[in-house]
Amino acid sequence: MERKNVRIFWGIFLATFFAMFGDTIPQSFQPLFIAGLGVSPAVIALIYNIRNVIQTFLRLVAGTLSDTLGHRRLMLVGLALFAVVPFLYSVAANPWVPVVAMMASGIALSIYFPPSEAYASSLFPPEKAGEAMGRYHMSWAVSSVIGPSVGGFLVSLVPGYRTLFVFAGVVTSIGLLIAWRFTKDDSHNSSSLTPAEQLRQLVKSFPSTMKKMMSNRRILVASVSVFAHAFCHWGLITFIPMLGARMGMSELLIGLTLTANALMIAVSLPIVGRLSDRVGRFTPIATGLLVSVAVFALMPLAPYHWMMPILNAVLGLCAVMVFPVSQAATMEAMPPRDRGTATGVWGMIMSLGGTLGMFTMSGVLAFYTIETVFYASAAFTLAAALVVVAMRGYFS
């Protein structure tokens, strides 16, 4: 990489780190805070799903628009929204404020990650898509390592959750300042069309875009893989605190359990990304899905609390074997100029999987116990893994 590209990459890396650090600080107590506003567990899951629904519709839009309007512009807007979300929670007096906060969070995720992923990958040689995504995703993975534990620790020192939301908002704002300072202005990618004209063109061409993408065998199997991953893994930050509370775990131990997942993701991302460039995309993806089956089934049966961080750490490794590898498979199937669209499609499918998974598990939780949610996740992941194995030839 050129020295200029190195500087830009680290600017994107640090901006993502601080944005996600502030976002993950409340993870260990956020569901409990929302419950304190008079919300049932099933409804909490539905509130969390709002941002998944928004991402399903907006990620492709953001990725495609960033190819012509410029990656940096959308990134800054997304980071500004990230900074607003914790402050909304700090003043919440009824369940409607978390609903608005989840909407803002969904928009922020949608318009920040596709352009930042495309921008970061453009700084690497085309044949190193796996390494590029592995390094990029370390940014939020590292922040997720410390965020939940920091939040869980601060709960024991600071009375009430609202002050911690304010602290999280300040931390998140640092990401916006870093991106503003250290990423170059890529206005040379801008189009003569206005955003409204671009959006109309995108809607008009959406069927043909999806047909082109899904007719590519590598993109199709990568989409199936990330859909299966998101369907069950995206609900962990919601359902693990619920399961932990039912098991009698403290907020600190719940935070450590969430941190164990993120720590394993951070450690394994650069290794698995680079390894998949060498051994291919199928082996990591299939292994990650199949191992997840056993872990989901074991979590409700753990006889000791100390087992929960270990099991969740294994799920973190399984996640790395699927989502960045499937993203690399998607991006390398398209020319570099269309990588914003490619990562937008990948992100849309991932968000769709997370959305449907949260809806499904919310329905399970409405009639059964939280333990059943994990058993259902194991069953679905097994079925999806068998489908991916049957499509093994599509990875070639």
Task: Kindly indicate the confidence band of residue 292, based on its pLDDT and cuts at 50, 70 and 90.
Answer: very high
CA angle 142, 148, 154 (to 5 degrees): 125
Give the pLDDT confidence score for residue 188 in this predicted structure. 45
Task: Kindly indicate the confidence band of residue 45, based on its pLDDT and cuts at 50, 70 and 90.
Answer: confident
Of 86 and 32, the structure prediction assigns the larger pLDDT to 86
Tokens representing residue 391 in the block = 């499509």
Report the candidate in 329, 133, 328 with the shortest Cα–Cα distance to residue 218.
Answer: 329
Residues 278-287 have pLDDT tens digits of 888 888 999 9
Position 79 pLDDT exceeds 70: yes
Position 176 pLDDT exceeds 60: yes
Task: Concatenate the DSSP letters of all residues of 321-371 into one string.
Answer: HHHHHHHHHHHHTS-GGGHHHHHHHHHHHHHHHHHHHHHHHHHHHHHS-HH
State the CATH class of domain 3-180+195-395.
mainly alpha
What is the amino acid identity at position 395? F
What is the amino acid identity at position 336? P
Give the pLDDT confidence score for residue 138 in this predicted structure. 80
Cβ atoms of residues 189 and 70 within 8 Å = yes
Give the pLDDT confidence score for residue 71 in this predicted structure. 75
pLDDT-wise least confident of 20-24, 61-65, 86-90, 376-380 = 61-65
Give the pLDDT confidence score for residue 191 in this predicted structure. 54
**What is the Cα–Cα distance from 388 to 17, expressed in whole angstroms?**
32
Whole-number Cα distances in Å, 392 to 85, 280, 281, 285:
41, 11, 10, 10
Helices first, then strands: H and E counts in the chain: 15, 0
Position 189 pLDDT exceeds 60: no
pLDDT-wise least confident of 53-62, 101-110, 227-236, 349-358 = 53-62
Give the pLDDT confidence score for residue 297 in this predicted structure. 94
| Domain spans, the chain | 3-180+195-395
Return the top range by mean pLDDT from 124-138, 195-209, 379-393: 379-393
Cβ atoms of residues 338 and 63 within 8 Å = no
Give the pLDDT confidence score for residue 144 in this predicted structure. 75
pTM for the model stands at 0.67
**What is the Cα–Cα distance from 291 to 299, expressed in whole angstroms?**
13
**Mean pLDDT over each residue of the chain, to the nearest integer:** 83
The contacts of residue 26 (CB under 8 Å, 6+ apart) are 33, 86, 89, 151, 161, 164, 165, 168
CA atoms within a 13 Å half-sphere pointing along the CA-CB vector of 197: 6
pLDDT mean over 183-200: 59
- Torsion, Cα 204 209 215 219, to 10 degrees, reads -150
Task: Concatenate the DSSP letters of all residues of 90-102 into one string.
Answer: HT--STHHHHHHH
Residues 312-368 have pLDDT tens digits of 999 999 999 998 888 888 877 777 666 667 777 787 888 888 888 888 888 888 888
Angle between the 251-279 and 129-155 helix axes, to the nearest 10 degrees?
A: 170
Residues 193-211 have pLDDT tens digits of 565 666 677 667 667 767 7
pLDDT-wise least confident of 267-271, 297-301, 380-384 = 267-271
Give the pLDDT confidence score for residue 192 in this predicted structure. 57
